[in-house]
């Protein structure tokens, strides 16, 4: 689909700008979002809008030059740095990772020998993926982080399934450092930010403080939003998305390079056309989950739509949420950055709405529980599952209702996350969904794999909610 073939035709850029001017600020207020900013690329032009404040404490207005954290959208930037290594002949995605990163020592070294860079890029490495060890603020933070992974649990064999993995992207950041012989931040600025002429990209709080910067907001004990007491996560997790900040215009400047087959506005080649295409190509299908795409490419999340494929990624840090949707065939991209409140409601009313208006693509609605859920045999789902983040118990009460109890541990418990109990009903196949919404969405738990219990019964090997958690019985 070309821009001319879109529902708004050649008027798309002006139509987007007009719609944003008339609606965005009001919708930010309506959804209780302290502040947000958006940029829309259509017809080769960028329209922007902003609403609300950077912080409820300071009441400084958000404008189009305000920087927000992009969270895990950083993974697309890290993937780009990795594919540049491929372009330069320094890396083969399918060679053993240990050939390039012999310093890597994890809990299962037999699994490590089978690991490839492709496994890391597609979230199929199989090791525990939510390790947030703070190794300081120095340029060696990522190197030190990788050195702490010696006891990292292996949940499944590399390539067996998809499990969203922050740890894997930190390892990729270290791979970039080793093969470029420079700190990750320096490589990012030198090989992406500078050739694209991006003005406000901030790899850490030290750069972000030079600009008008948004503060994340979290709900207190009374449910009221308040500025978060920390601005960023640990520097050690930077390649996975712990602190990179920018404006949505900067983010679309990066996306435009991907839409232009790897070429910067001044003609500089930043990434080969082959690598751009490889990043957007389907690598692994996902089970039915809440808030995730149908498949994953190299770094990119992929949504299937009859009107055209959508490549995407979202990000979340401490009280900030970022959304990116791109329809390559239409040359349309939307980036929205927020700092708390009903961000999913704002996404539906703004990003999803504009994407349909500009391209005809209708994003799939987030799943909701059926009005009359099918009664199914849940015996293979019941039991205990655990990783380093949560202990999960799935049970059935005498009335036949299914419950999932989730107990946080480690850093999640330390930062105050509370135990939670979800009632589940059948959604589709081996997926159950929460009856009540949680932080604006109904969470889907897919029960995948098969293992035989001591009594000979067939049981689900994993519970999957975007991350895989293994049965521990």
Give the per-residue pLDDT at 13: 84
Q: Which residue bears the tokens 């002006």?
A: 14
Cα dihedral 375, 379, 381, 382, rounded to 10, equals 120
Report whether pLDDT(101) > 60.
yes
Q: What percent of the chain has pLDDT over 70?
A: 97
Q: Domains of the chain, with CATH numbers? A: 1-366 (3.40.710.10), 383-471 (2.40.128)
Q: What is the pLDDT of residue 305?
A: 87
Give the tens place of pLDDT for each residue, 242-283. Answer: 999 999 999 999 999 999 999 999 999 999 999 999 999 999
Residue-wise pLDDT tens digits, 310-329: 999 999 999 999 999 999 99
Q: Which residue has the higher pLDDT, 308 or 336?
A: 336
Which residue shows structure tokens 């649990």? 153
Residue 315 and residue 70 in contact, taking contact as beta carbons nearer than 8 Å: yes
- Give residue 3's pLDDT: 38
Confidence band (pLDDT; 50, 70, 90) for 10? low
Looking at residue 416, its pLDDT comes to 66
Local confidence band at 473 (pLDDT 50, 70, 90 cut-offs): confident
As a whole number, the mean pLDDT across the chain is 94
Give the pLDDT confidence score for residue 288 in this predicted structure: 81
Catalytic residue among 2, 55, 64, 72: 72
**pLDDT confidence tier of residue 401, bands split at 50, 70 and 90:** very high
pLDDT 10s digits, 328-364: 999 999 999 999 999 999 999 999 999 999 999 998 8
| pLDDT attached to residue 231 | 94
Which positions ≥6 away from 47 have C-beta within 8 Å? 13, 16, 17, 20, 39, 40
Active site residue 395: no
Mean pLDDT in residue range 149-154: 95
- Work out the pLDDT band at 7, boundaries 50, 70, 90: low
d(CA 119, CA 54): 38
pLDDT at 271: 98
In this predicted structure, what is the pLDDT of residue 36?
Answer: 98
| Span 187-225, pLDDT tens digits | 999 999 999 999 999 999 999 999 999 999 998 878 899
User: What integer pLDDT is reported at residue 71 of this predicted model?
Assistant: 97
With bands split at pLDDT 50, 70 and 90, how would you rate the model's confidence at 5?
very low
Q: How much is the average pLDDT of 436-457?
A: 89
Say if residue 4's pLDDT is above 70: no
Contacts of 296 (CB under 8 A, 6+ apart): 122, 123, 162, 282, 283, 284, 286, 302
- Cβ–Cβ under 8 Å, residues 453 and 461: no
Using the predicted structure, report yes or no on whether residue 2 has a pLDDT greater than 50: no
Pairing of strands 295-296, 301-303: antiparallel
Residue 1 predicted with pLDDT over 50: no
Report the share of the chain in percent with pLDDT over 90. Answer: 87
């Amino acid at each position: 689909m070309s821009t001319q073939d879109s529902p708004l035709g050649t008027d798309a850029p002006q139509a987007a700008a007009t719609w944003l001017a008339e609606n965005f600020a009001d919708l930010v207020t309506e959804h209780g979002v302290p502040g947000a900013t958006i940029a829309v690329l259509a017809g080769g032009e960028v329209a922007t809008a902003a609403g609300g404040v950077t912080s409820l404490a300071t009441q400084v207005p958000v404008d189009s030059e305000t920087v927000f954290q992009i969270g895990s959208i950083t993974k697309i930037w890290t993937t780009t740095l990795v594919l540049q290594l491929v372009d330069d002949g320094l890396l083969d995605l399918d060679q053993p990772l240990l050939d390039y990163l012999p310093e890597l020592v994890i809990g299962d070294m037999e699994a490590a020998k089978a690991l490839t860079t492709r496994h890391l890029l597609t979230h199929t490495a199989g090791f525990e993926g939510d390790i947030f060890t703070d190794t300081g603020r120095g340029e060696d933070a990522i190197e030190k982080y990788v050195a702490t992974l010696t006891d990292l649990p292996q949940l499944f064999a590399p390539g067996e399934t998809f499990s969203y993995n922050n740890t894997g992207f930190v390892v990729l950041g270290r791979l970039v450092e080793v093969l470029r012989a420079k700190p990750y931040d320096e490589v990012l600025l030198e090989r992406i930010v500078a050739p694209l002429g991006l003005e406000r990209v901030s790899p850490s709080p030290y750069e972000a403080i030079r600009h008008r910067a948004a503060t994340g907001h979290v709900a207190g004990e009374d449910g009221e939003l308040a500025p978060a007491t920390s601005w960023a996560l640990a520097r050690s997790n930077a390649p996975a998305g712990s602190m990179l900040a920018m404006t949505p215009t900067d983010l679309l400047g990066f996306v435009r390079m991907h839409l232009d087959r790897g070429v910067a506005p001044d003609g500089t080649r930043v990434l080969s056309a082959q690598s751009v295409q490889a990043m957007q190509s389907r690598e692994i299908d996902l089970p039915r989950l809440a808030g995730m795409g149908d498949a994953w490419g190299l770094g990119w999340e992929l949504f299937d739509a009859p009107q055209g494929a959508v490549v995407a990624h979202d990000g979340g840090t401490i009280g900030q949420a970022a959304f990116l949707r791109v329809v390559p065939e239409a040359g349309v991209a939307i980036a929205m950055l927020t700092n708390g409140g009903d961000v999913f409601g704002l996404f539906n009313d703004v990003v999803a709405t504009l994407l349909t208006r500009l391209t005809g693509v209708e994003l799939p609605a987030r799943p909701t529980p059926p009005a009359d859920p099918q009664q199914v045999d849940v015996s293979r789902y019941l039991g205990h599952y655990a990783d380093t983040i949560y202990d999960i118990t799935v049970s059935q009460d005498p009335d036949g209702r299914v419950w999932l109890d989730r107990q946080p541990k480690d850093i999640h418990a330390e930062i105050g996350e509370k135990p939670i109990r979800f009632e589940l009903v059948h959604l589709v196949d081996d997926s159950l969904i929460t009856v009540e919404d949680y932080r604006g969405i109904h969470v889907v738990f897919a029960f995948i794999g098969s293992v035989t219990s001591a009594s000979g019964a067939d049981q689900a090997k994993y519970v999957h909610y975007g991350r895989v958690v293994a049965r521990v019985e």
